[in-house]
Amino acid sequence: MTQPLTLSSLPLFPLGSVLFPDGVLALRVFEVRYMDMVRKCYDAGAPFGVVALTQGREVRQAGALEERFNEVGTLAVIEHLENPRPGLITLTCRGDQRFRTNQRYCLPYGLWIADVEHLERDFTVPIPDDLRKTATALAQVLRTLQLRAPGIPQPSAPTAAQLDDCGWVANRWCELLPVPLELKQRLMELENPLVRLELVGDVLERTGIAPSP
């Protein structure tokens, strides 16, 4: 078995959402602890880590509960950064590889950093016939979103290969479905992309979004 790749002192951005590999993340950054971090990451072409909060708030406030977050997160690669006015940075990121934190530290000014190990990327699994409806419905939803919300960052038009990839289709549905954050986290952590898509398919059938044949 190959040794997992490790990364030391990865800056973390705890959020009230789960970032999936290949997902699009738009952020408005105004806290000092994060403004300096995202600028340095962008200039260096380096990622930061997005982890979903289990306690606390995205914006630090006096008297709020201490920030706690999941051990497994996703690397975020900054694709576009703007500084529209002093004290505000907007950025668009794309989810990359998942990671697990081994050690985490909070610096004096509130920025979390961690030593992490990379988790294996999803292996490519073609979508079986009984789950094909999940890909068809996703393509329709993505087209509708691009037409109705052209100004909001969306995944680019899916390729035929992506729509035949269990992991990619499952991840896009996980981003869209209104399910609890804890469930999204568990789905993101699953090692088997086929199992992830099967679970998503169950949710789609219960909601009537992608009914069974």
Domains, the chain = 6-118 (2.30.130.40), 129-207 (1.10.4060.10)
Mean pLDDT score of the chain? 90
Q: What's the pLDDT at 172?
A: 97
Q: Which residue has the tokens 């999941």?
A: 70
Alpha-carbon separation of residue 207 from 17, 125, 132, 201 (angstroms): 22, 25, 17, 10
Among 39-43, 73-77, 157-161, which is the least confidently predicted range? 157-161
- In 3-state terms, what secondary structure has residue 86? coil
Whole-structure pTM value: 0.90
Q: Which residue has the tokens 């992830």?
A: 196
Residue 146 banded pLDDT, cuts 50, 70, 90: confident
Distance CA 137, CA 50 (A): 28
More confident residue, 6 or 13: 13
